[in-house]
Amino acid sequence: MTTTARMTRSIAALNLPKPVPALISLTNGIVTAMTGNPSFSTPTPSLTSVMSALDDLVAAEAIAQTRARGAAATRNAKRAVLVSLLEQLKGYVQKVADGSPAAGGAIIQSAGLSLKKVAPVHKRVFGASPGAVSGTVRLITDAAGSRAAYEWQWSADGGEKWVSLPTTLQAKTTVTGLSPGASVSFRYRAVTRVGQEDWAQAIAMIVK
């Protein structure tokens, strides 16, 4: 038995324009889209604080257009404050979207944000097959990298209790001593330089 899974995640993007008038327009659009939006009950930061920063930028931009001394620097500082708040707001929208993966893209776009184009992330293939002799099962997965180890477990009660197997440096192992005819579940996780991964989705098969 072999399982293959594909996982995608909708990523929010601001795509902030450099011209201040365009940034002002974008911010107005985001605040309008999120105001009263049922997906965003408690925006962080608040939309009020974002609008306050926007008003400050609008005022500073108007003064900067007069070319008054120091006005451009003040305008740029106000822009930086607004951009920081928008980045925080994007993080909030992303968190909401991650809570409903199937609707994540629609949630992000309903906030007036763009979707970042990302390639689908393919999970490694994890398979189980009968071993060379009765009562054995071969487990194999795709390599997680050049310096990775693999932890394996099996369960005879549907995952209530897991039995650990020896860790391997290869992305495969053989389980022995199983009862022929029994339904056994298997899972694994890779350990890389950045730490332990989550356990892969368990797969089950009848032992031959």
Residues 73 and 107 in one domain: yes
Report residue 168 as tokens: 């391997």
* Structural domain harbouring 44: 8-116
Token look-up 């930086």 returns 80
Domain's final residue, options 98, 116, 134: 116
Query: Quick count: other Cβ atoms within 10 Å of Cβ 163?
Result: 11
- Strand spans (E) along 64-182: 114-116, 121-122, 126-130, 137-141, 149-155, 163-164, 172-175
Q: Quick one: how many helices (H) and strands (E) in the chain? A: 4, 13
Residues 156 and 102 in one domain: no
Phi, psi values for residue 90, rounded to 5°: -60, -40
Residues 111 and 131 in one domain: no
Residues 111 and 128 in one domain: no
Cβ distance 168 to 189 under 8 Å?
A: no
The average pLDDT across 142-150 equals 92
Residues 26 and 102 in one domain: yes
- Does 118 score more than 90 pLDDT? no
Assigned domain for 39 exists:
yes
Q: Specify which residues 173 forms β-bridges with.
A: 139
What gap in Å lies between CA 208 and CA 206, rounded to an integer? 6
Residues 132 and 102 in one domain: no
The average pLDDT across 79-93 equals 97
Assigned domain for 31 exists:
yes
Residues 131 and 108 in one domain: no
Q: Which of 4-18, 41-55, 59-73, 101-115 has the lowest mean pLDDT?
A: 4-18
Greater model confidence, 6 or 40:
40
Assigned domain for 1 exists:
no
Name the amino acid, one letter, at 14: L
DSSP per residue over 151-205, as a string?
EEEEESSTTSS-EE---BSSSEEEE-SPPTT-EEEEEEEEEETTEEPPPPPPEEE
Domain's final residue, options 71, 87, 116: 116
- Does 174 score more than 70 pLDDT? yes
Residues 84 and 112 in one domain: yes
Report residue 188 as tokens: 């694994």
What pLDDT, on the 0 to 100 scale, is given for residue 113? 97
Name the amino acid, one letter, at 39: S
Domain's final residue, options 116, 151, 183: 116
Residues 15 and 87 in one domain: yes
| pLDDT band at residue 7 under the 50/70/90 scheme | very low
Q: Return the CATH number at 139.
A: 2.60.40.10
Nearest to 121 by CA among 9, 201, 3, 2: 9
| pLDDT band at residue 145 under the 50/70/90 scheme | confident
What pLDDT, on the 0 to 100 scale, is given for residue 1? 38
Share of the chain above pLDDT 90, in %: 86
Cβ distance 189 to 198 under 8 Å?
A: yes
- Does 24 score more than 50 pLDDT? yes
Burial class (CB in 10 A: 0-12, 13-18, 19+), 38: exposed
Residues 66 and 102 in one domain: yes
Assigned domain for 32 exists:
yes
Assigned domain for 2 exists:
no
Assigned domain for 181 exists:
yes
What pLDDT, on the 0 to 100 scale, is given for residue 120? 55
What pLDDT, on the 0 to 100 scale, is given for residue 124? 78
Dmax (CA) for the chain in angstroms is 87
Count of domains observed in the chain = 2
Assigned domain for 3 exists:
no
In the chain the first and final C-alpha atoms are separated, in Å, by 13
Share of the chain above pLDDT 70, in %: 93
- Does 203 score more than 90 pLDDT? yes
**Average pLDDT of every residue of the chain:** 92
Bond from prior residue into 45 cis (ω within 30 degrees of 0): yes
